[in-house]
Amino acid sequence: MSKVVLAICFVVVSLNSSYGHDGLRGRADKHAPAALIGDHLHDPGEWMVEYRYMNMYMDGNRAGTQRLNDTDAVAFGATSNPVTNRGASPTNMTHEMHMVHLMRGMTEDVTFYAMLMLPSITMDHIRGPMNPAGPGTSFTTHNSGFGDTTIGALLRLYSDEDDDLLFNLGGSVPTGDIFRTTSIPTGGAVEQPLPYPMRLGSGTFNARPGVTWKRYFEFGSFGSQLQTDLPIGRNYRDYSVGDEFRLNSWYSHLVGRNLSTSIRIENLWRTNYDGADPMTPDAVISTNVESFRGGYTLNLGLGAAALVSGHLLNVEFIPMLHQDLDGIQLETDWSLVASWSRSF
């Protein structure tokens, strides 16, 4: 309940001022870098449709800030608290996401939005010392389908000729499947649920309040955004994913009115899970361990955007600069986000 109160407390009365898509806000830098949403409004009655693709690649494990190879990750699990990776240890993962994003301006100060998610997750593993299919052998699991659906409204808190301050009154609906099973890890001997990172949603309604400030200059724009993801209660598997806090700051530089480049710094904090799925024992694999889901990540974003006959093309490459993870987890090496959008 306290998380819901936190989300509501962010809402203040918006100030009325014109926005439009002319002048400073009609250039290639009119949107934030490709990995971010919730940074702009639309005129009353105006629609925007966007397709966005994300690919996140994770290779190798990390305990705190220490990088571990595959053998080290299995050995680390024997002495960790709790003991883990006895059945298997993850070695790398690719998380792809296809997103369809719709926005509609309701008034000069309010824009509604919705986002549909289609994740596709592939994880490679090495079998541990207690696996009946044989220690040291490898296997791959995969999961895909509909993810959680994001909905919300963007509210203008303040605007002038050069500045926009927006509040994101957003949330997610648990439309993603969180319980699928596989017998691949044990070579067909035992059917077991896919671990937490391979599930398609959170299983809970999540509050996602956020605030974005942008300032435009003749040569580019600067922005800063705080975005959160706060699960409300536990899901039907008796757990909730961790709280998430993202603090981003970026600068976009105009190469010409229709072309811009950007640089972004992201601070990402995640807390550990609350509760536990009763069918995911810790000893089997580290991706089952609820206390091994939190940590801090520092990312760099390098992007470009182009306006082509009213179509906005936006791309960003995001290498990881630093990670400090709770327990043992797959580290994130890089992400790539690309999008196409059109307003009408």
> What is the CATH number for 140?
2.40.160.40
On the question of pLDDT at 45 being above 70, the answer is: yes
Query: pLDDT confidence of 24, banded at 50, 70, 90?
Result: confident
* pLDDT in the model for residue 225: 98
Residues in a beta bridge with 102: 49, 114
- Angstrom distance (rounded) from CA 61 to CA 38: 32
Q: What is the DSSP letter of 344?
A: -
* pLDDT in the model for residue 7: 44
Say if residue 87 is exposed, middle or buried (CB neighbours under 10 Å; 0-12, 13-18, 19+): buried
On the question of pLDDT at 18 being above 60, the answer is: no
- Angstrom distance (rounded) from CA 174 to CA 318: 27
Q: Which amino acid is at 240?
A: S
* pLDDT in the model for residue 1: 47
More confident residue, 41 or 8: 41
Q: How much of the chain, in percent, has pLDDT values that exceed 90?
A: 92
Residues in a beta bridge with 48: 103, 343
Q: What is the DSSP letter of 203?
A: S
On the question of pLDDT at 43 being above 80, the answer is: yes
Query: pLDDT confidence of 4, banded at 50, 70, 90?
Result: very low
* pLDDT in the model for residue 22: 54
* pLDDT in the model for residue 12: 31
* pLDDT in the model for residue 8: 41
The boundaries of the domain holding residue 318 are: 2-343
- Angstrom distance (rounded) from CA 13 to CA 1: 23
* Helix H or strand E encompassing 4: helix 2-9
pLDDT, mean of residues 110-120: 98
Nearest to 270 by CA among 310, 250, 300, 298: 298
Which pTM value belongs to this model? Answer: 0.91
Q: What is the DSSP letter of 178?
A: -
On the question of pLDDT at 16 being above 90, the answer is: no
On the question of pLDDT at 14 being above 50, the answer is: no
Tokens 């960003």 label which residue? 316
Gap between the terminal Cα atoms of the chain? 39
Residue 11 tokens read as 């809402």
On the question of pLDDT at 11 being above 70, the answer is: no
* pLDDT in the model for residue 279: 96
On the question of pLDDT at 2 being above 60, the answer is: no
- Give the number of other Cβ atoms within 10 Å of residue 189's Cβ: 11
Q: What angle do CA 239, 245, 250 make, to 5 degrees?
A: 150
Q: How many domains does the chain have?
A: 1
pLDDT, mean of residues 252-269: 97
Q: What angle do CA 296, 297, 301 make, to 5 degrees?
A: 155
